Structure formats: C-alpha cells, structure tokens
Amino acid sequence: MSRLLPLTALALGLAATLSAADGFTGFNAGVDLGYGRHEADWTDINYWWYGGTASHNTNGVLAGLHGGYDHQFGALVVGGILDWNYTSFDTTDGYSDSPTEIKLTNTMDWMATLRGRAGLAVDASLLYITYGLAMASVEHEWDRVDNPATNQDFKGSDEVMGTVFGVGVEHKLTERFSVRAELTEATFNDLSFHNENPGSDEFTFKVENHVTAFKIAGSYWF
C-alpha cells in the first residue's frame, strides 16, 4: 500500500496539471504567417505529350487571418478554425524538344480552410491535431510558345476543394493572447482541361494540387 502512495500522488498531480483552468475556452481571432510548398501534378490523360504524371513544385509565403472557437473539458480541448491566406505560389517551367518549346505555369492565389481540432492542454500549452476542408484558387497553363497557331495550348483556372490535415502546438502567453505553430498538408480535387482549339484532336490534362505549409499564428481571445 505504501508503494502505491507516491504513484497515486504523481497521478493526481499530473491530472491536476492537465486539467488546470479552462484557458482554451472561448472565441479567438488573429493573424497567420508561414512558408510552404506547392506541388502541381500534371497527368497526360491521352498520352499526348509524355503519357504519365509530372510534378512541378514551388515554395512561397502564406499570410492571412483566422478565427475560431474552442472549449476545454478538463484536459481535452475541442474546437474549430476558419482561416484565409494569401499565397505567393507562382512558377513557370520550360520544355524544349526542338522545334517544340513549351511554357508551363502554375499559380495559387489564395487558400482557405475550415477545420476542426482536438488536443490536450498541459498547463498553458495545447497539443492538437486538426482536420477539415480546404479551398484554393488555382490557375494552370500549358503554352506552345514556338507555334501559337497550333491546337496545343491548355489553360484552366478554378476554385478547387480538398481536405487538410495537420498537427500543432499553441501556448497562452496571457489570458488574452496566444501563439501557435502548426504543420498542415492539403490535397485538392483534380482540375481537368482540354486544348483550347482542339479541331479534330482533343487532348486532356488533369492537374492535382498539394500544399504543405508551416505557419506561425498569433491570437486574441475574447
């Protein structure tokens, strides 16, 4: 019995630490700043150019706003996040197979997510996982620059939907202010488009977008 007393005291102390206060209950809003990698996977559906999938990557900045609500139940915290970020993902690649010259452009203007999150509060810190919906504005272009009169130009732009998953840690600096860091991975639905002037030959490309991002955020709690 005496051997159990120290373990019991340790367990009670840990439980008290985990469930201390309800510091992560309430509405919050703030700003985001991060850096990420955008990957555009082009698939040649008709085996017209290379008959497979080629990835085109670029790095860039994310900056925006977020808002959310959380509720703490003892050590457990559950809630939701809505954010919108400007993204600087913009890349142009070139291909040359004389006499053919191709300019390929991938752009993402912004990205937004609506996510749930759940985690454990340890004193003034929160360790959490997050999952939800993602949306982004993208534009992709395949341009035959050596002979613009051909039917070998492709262009597509749209708002694409997808899912996002991530992990993060948030720390309360004061009752009203917190900072957090999180790593997320978003995968978006395919965007398909055809050559602009197909004539008798119509070719299709399918593009799938992925974004991996690390962001730092500051929040004010109401």
In the prediction, which pLDDT does 103 show? 80
Domain ranges across the chain: 4-221
Average pLDDT over residues 91-113: 81
* pTM of the complete model beyond 0.85: no
Q: 154-191, pLDDT tens digit by residue?
A: 777 889 999 999 999 999 999 999 999 999 999 999 88
Mean pLDDT of the chain: 85
Beta bridge partners of 101: 96
* 3 has pLDDT over 50: no
Beta bridge partners of 76: 73, 120
Quickly state the pLDDT bin for 197 (edges 50, 70, 90). Answer: low
CATH of domain 4-221: 2.40.160.20
In the prediction, which pLDDT does 192 show? 80
Q: How far apart are CA 168 and CA 153, in angstroms?
A: 42
Q: 9-36, pLDDT tens digit by residue?
A: 444 444 444 444 568 999 999 999 999 9
Dihedral in degrees, nearest 10, Cα atoms 193, 35, 110, 30 = 160
Pick the closest to residue 163 from 188, 137, 183, 130 (CA basis).
188
Query: Which residues, other chains included, contact 4 with Cβ-Cβ below 8 Å and sequence gap of 6+?
Result: none
* 109 has pLDDT over 70: yes
